[in-house]
Chains A and B, each alone.
Chain A
């Protein structure tokens, strides 16, 4: 399935809903969109992976890049993910200790933007 990207605002957070396959071919488009959002002023960014059915190391690299970019801009970055196969990918790579990962958009956007308290 092709990559789909849709951004909206929820409770003062910019939520980017990602769908389809995030891999070495499509990840550059995700990177561009995230850079665009941050350059456009977004500082509380949440990436919703609920409709992602494939995520590889290139996609993970893009997400880490966005986290670093937002940290540097005094922003926050969180992920929404409740699918076990994807959560396993985060655990195996130890990236579950790097990203705040939330079970729902509501949980991700109700933290006051401090990035703390993931409910994984």
Chain B
């Protein structure tokens, strides 16, 4: 099993780096080429969410992305924001999406979760084992060579 871990300051500019690394490791792990766009989008969404939460709470702690390729390609995105702020997998309905009164932040969060839930079959959102924060865990099948 190989593990790659990346930690970055909670700034939007680094989310792209996380996506690039996540897709490179996925390719190397043997994730099918046709799934790589979904891997890229899902890692980006999970990291965007983590960065947004850290910024909302004024946290400078690093966001961590850990990729490993045991039985599947597993990616964990770990934030350190208070849990009550971060759990909620509500998918917005079309009427709600275009509702004038829906704040931009709520729209982006709802759309982000819809993308994660829509693109990742194996998705878990749970509190971190130690301390404060949430872990978004995603996994994709790998083809062993």
Contacts and interface: CB of A to CB of B under 8 A. Distances in A.
Interface of A: 21, 23-25, 54, 56-58, 60-61, 64-65, 67-68, 72, 85, 89, 92-95, 97-98
A1 B50 CA distance: 23
Interface of B: 12-13, 15-16, 19, 37, 40-41, 44-45, 48, 51-52, 91-94, 97-98, 100, 104, 107-109, 111-112, 114-115, 118-119
Contact of A61 (B15, B16, B107): B107
Contact of B97 (A54, A72, A98): A98
A112 to B, nearest CB: 21
B118 A65 contact: no
Nearest to B48: A24
Contacts of B104: 61, 65
A67 to B, nearest CB: 7
Contacts of A72: 100
Contacts of A94: 91-94, 97, 114
Given A21-B16, A61-B107, A89-B41, A67 B98 contact: yes
A93 B51 contact: no
Contacts of B107: 61, 64
A57 to B, nearest CB: 4
Given A57-B108, A61-B104, A64-B97, A92 B15 contact: no
A97 B98 CA distance: 10
Contacts, number: 74
Given A60-B111, A67-B98, A93-B111, A54 B12 contact: no
Nearest to B112: A57
B115 A23 contact: no
B112 A85 contact: no
Contacts of A67: 98
A54 B119 contact: no
Contacts of B45: 56-57
A23 B97 contact: no
A68 B115 CA distance: 21
Contacts of B114: 92-94
A14 to B, nearest CB: 21
Q: Which 3 A-B pairs have the closest CB atoms?
A: A92-B118, A57-B112, A61-B108
